[in-house]
Chain A
Amino acid sequence: DTAVSQTPKYLVTQMGNDKSIKCEQNLGHDTMYWYKQDSKKFLKIMFSYNNKELIINETVPNRFSPKSPDKAHLNLHINSLELGDSAVYFCASSPGGGARQFFGPGTRLTVL
């Protein structure tokens, strides 16, 4: 059974388009995260939700909007995609903030 799943695995799109990435976890965790990992491999936190409530919102352009319909799901919608948005986006979950995190397989986004 997959613990943290993301769809799609690959996303290739044109500049200016809007796209969404979906994440689901079946671990019963309360906290979910979105990370961005660029070509230099640095893992940067974008958002964190605890029980459907936003608790971390790092300096991220307003074009990025997370949505958590329930505590098992955290989706990421990106408007007006730019070249600099090309990266791998990881979803993760944990039992609580500061605890060990479990990562999804990642979504490789390429903006042309």
Chain B
Amino acid sequence: ETGVTQTPRHLVMGMTNKKSLKCEQHLGHNAMYWYKQSAKKPLELMFVYNFKEQTENNSVPSRFSPECPNSSHLFLHLHTLQPEDSALYLCASSQPSWGHGNYGYTFGSGTRLTVV
């Protein structure tokens, strides 16, 4: 266990479904991140939150909607996804993203999403 917990580990959803991914950290970090890793591609940064405020959105389609109710929890709400959105979705946390405090990011184990 890394201290960053993601649920569910695996998710299969239809293109008309609505689902949510959850991330939780108990490391005292104030920044949280969503990354996407498609097959044979590098990790892509999707969203960044610092102190519950979204500070970065890397041109992510609106069918992905993040939510950060507090510094310990991060959600990714999914709706009307496409098959090409199938990927490993990784959550990470750190001290604020503008500092080098605690040795960088701690990642969760990810949610393997399959869109059918």
- Are A and B physically bound partners? no
